[in-house]
Structure 1
Amino acid sequence: MPLKESELILNKDGSVYHLNLRPENIANNIIFVGDQDRVDKISKYFDLIEFTTQKREFKTTTGTYKKKRFTIISTGIGPDNIDIVLNELDALVNIDLKTRATKKQLTKLNIVRIGTSGSLQEDIPVDSFVISSHGLDLNGLLHSYQIDDITNPELENAFVAHTNWSSKKAFPLIIENSKELENKLTSAKTFTGITATAGGFYGPQGRVLRLAIQDPELNHKIDSFIFKEHRITNLEMETSAIYGLSKLLGHNACSINAIIANRANGTFSKNPSKVIANLIEYTLEKLV
């Protein structure tokens, strides 16, 4: 049955509503960044730029790097924006936009997030790179979908018990990355661990300005969590949504972050722009 116009909204030129993209505008290899200015910082390495557009915070550039075609998309901040970007990207490759019907032959995208983050562990210093083995959903977005087949109940229950998680909050979910992409990105330069994804920057990440927070000890509980070989290495606002939606839609996803702050020892990178540039170069080389 074709999707209704209210469910799959298209612009007058046939592009998807928020991203302003048509199927031919994107590659199968996608790089997500949060900051729209970072799109140009990556595409400057391209041999050829074939397409670029922007609508709201969603800036997209498609081109080739060492003969491999990539699309870079700025997602903006937060899991709610990831919900928009991933659903519309999937529609571009797996829904016929003319008939509004799902295609019989589905396409799998490879999605890598290049981000910045703060480390929760003293032994993961500023200026290092962290690959997210899992995304820990602390924000509740994924509960809107049927997620039973992609979660990790043993890990989740251990985390809930360790943190004495409030029953008034969304139940935490833990989603694994694409091991295929993780293997491509891993080297002696990288750390690996669970990335916690919060729904905000201040209270949801334990920052206190003028508002008291529900659990002042939550950050310590998070960074002291250890279960088998797993620990939580960093905290940000996108990875769990990328992992969960990608798994549900049948795409590969992996997140790699430049660590520009260490919350455990209170340090901040002396040159965060350089760290991000190093991560961009590192990731592009690993993906080709």
Structure 2
Amino acid sequence: MNTPHINTDGNKIAESILLPGDPLRAKFIAENFLTDVVQFNSVRNMFGFTGKYNEKEVSVMGTGMGMPSIGIYSYELITKFGVKNLIRIGSCGALQENLKVYDVIIAQGASTNSNYASQYGLPGTFAPIASYELLSKAVKVANDLNIDVHVGNILSSDTFYDDNAEAHLLWKKMGILGIEMEAAALYMNAARLGAKALSILTVSDNIITKEETTASERQSAFVNMMKISLEMI
């Protein structure tokens, strides 16, 4: 089974998959955490790999940036390849002063300024939330690993450069922990298609305090969220 965006050449995709936005982060995870690794996708350089972690089969694949991109990949993974557990591992910009770079956020919910939910024709507003089963597992694993995590609501934004430079302050007032660009679409696809989804994020910068990391650090240094995700599986 192949799609316009995923060509496995007959290689298997596991029922549980980690989904970093950056395909080089997927490659880093495969090379540094998995054994018996086989690459299952390279279409558009969106690298995907399947291997084993503690003898448990797991896949990892990049999704690109934004809700349209993760919407395509997660839809195909669920409907065409039978993936059941989708765990986004990405970076975010923090919106609360107490959050530091490298802090880990587990996204219980994903507010959004996107129109993604309009496709469902719902007579109201849908609240994209994580799978409680995956959420509770992630918190337990983090506690077992002595990794402090923040659990709460994030914002999945369609705009990285917002024309309203103060828009983030309105979301801050609502207790939003951080901003990223993918989780809401992932949560909606999972809800609609009967799969389980969770987003685990590392703070790459704090929009309020101006603390930030480098691009190379975002690619390979955010290991705590990787450990939590893999130990969950």
TM-score w.r.t. structure 1 length? Answer: 0.72
Question: Is the alpha carbon distance of 1:139 and 1:235 closer, same or farther for their aligned partners in structure 2, counting shifts above 3 Å?
Answer: same
Q: 1:239 aligns with which of 165, 179, 183?
A: 183
The CA RMSD measured in Å over matched residues stands at 2.1
Secondary structure of 1:232's aligned partner: coil
Instruction: Return the index of the structure with the highest Cα Rg.
Output: 1
Deviation at 1:194, TM superposition (A): 0.9
1:38 paired with 2:25, answer: yes
Q: Does structure 1 residue 223 correspond to structure 2 residue 167?
A: no
> Could you say which residue in structure 1 is the equivalent of 2:72?
84
Indicate the residue corresponding to 2:227 in structure 1. 281
Q: CA deviation at 1:275?
A: 4.2
SS of residue paired to 2:96: coil
3-state secondary structure, aligned to 1:174: coil
Write out per-residue CA displacement over residues 119-148 of structure 1, whole angstroms, 9 at most, x where no aligned residue.
100112111100000111212122122456
- Mapped contact 1:260–1:275 kept (Cα < 8 A): no
Q: Find the aligned partners of 1:272 and 1:258 in 2 and give their Cα distance.
A: 11
Is 1:258 aligned to residue 202 of structure 2? yes
Q: Partner of 2:217 in structure 1?
A: 272
1:178 alignment partner in structure 2:
131
What one-letter code is carried by the residue in structure 2 that aligns with 1:232?
I
Give secondary structure in 2 for the equivalent of 1:253. strand
Task: Report the Cα distance in structure 1 between the residues aligned to 2:108 and 2:75, rounded to whole angstroms.
Answer: 22
Where does structure 2 lack aligned partners over 5 or more consecutive residues? none
SS of residue paired to 2:8 = coil
Whether the aligned pair in 2 keeps the contact of 1:25 and 1:51 (CA below 8 Å) is: no
What is the correspondence of 1:1-288 to structure 2 with a 5 Å cutoff? 14-21=1-8, 25-44=12-31, 45-93=33-81, 109-147=84-122, 153=125, 173-186=126-139, 187-188=142-143, 189-203=148-162, 213=163, 215-225=164-174, 231-269=175-213, 272-273=217-218, 275-285=221-231, 287-288=232-233
3-state SS of paired residue (1:220): helix
C-alpha distance in 2 between matches for 1:284 and 1:108:
16
Q: Deviations over 1:179-233 (max 9, x none)?
A: 1111111135110111111113112xxxxxxxxx2x44321111011xxxxx210
Q: Deviations over 1:84-142 (max 9, x none)?
A: 1122112224xxxxxxxxxxxxx560110110111100112111100000111212122
How many pairs does the alignment contain?
A: 224
CA contact 1:34–1:77 (8 Å) conserved in 2: yes
Cα separation, partners in 2 of 1:47 and 1:268, compared to 1, 3 Å: same
Structure 1's unaligned 5+ residue stretches are 1-13, 94-106, 154-172, 204-212, 226-230
Separation (CA, whole Å) in 1 of partners of 2:5 and 2:127:
28
Q: Is the 8 A contact 2:13 2:83 kept in 1?
A: no
* Contact persistence 2:86–2:196 (CA under 8 A): yes
Distance in 1 (CA, whole Å) between partners of 2:196 and 2:11 is 20
**1 CA distance for matches of 2:59 and 2:48?**
7
Give the structure-2-normalised TM-score: 0.88
Structure (1/2) with the larger helix percentage = 2
For residues 54 and 87 of structure 1, do their structure 2 counterparts lie closer, same or farther at Cα, with a shift above 3 Å needed? same
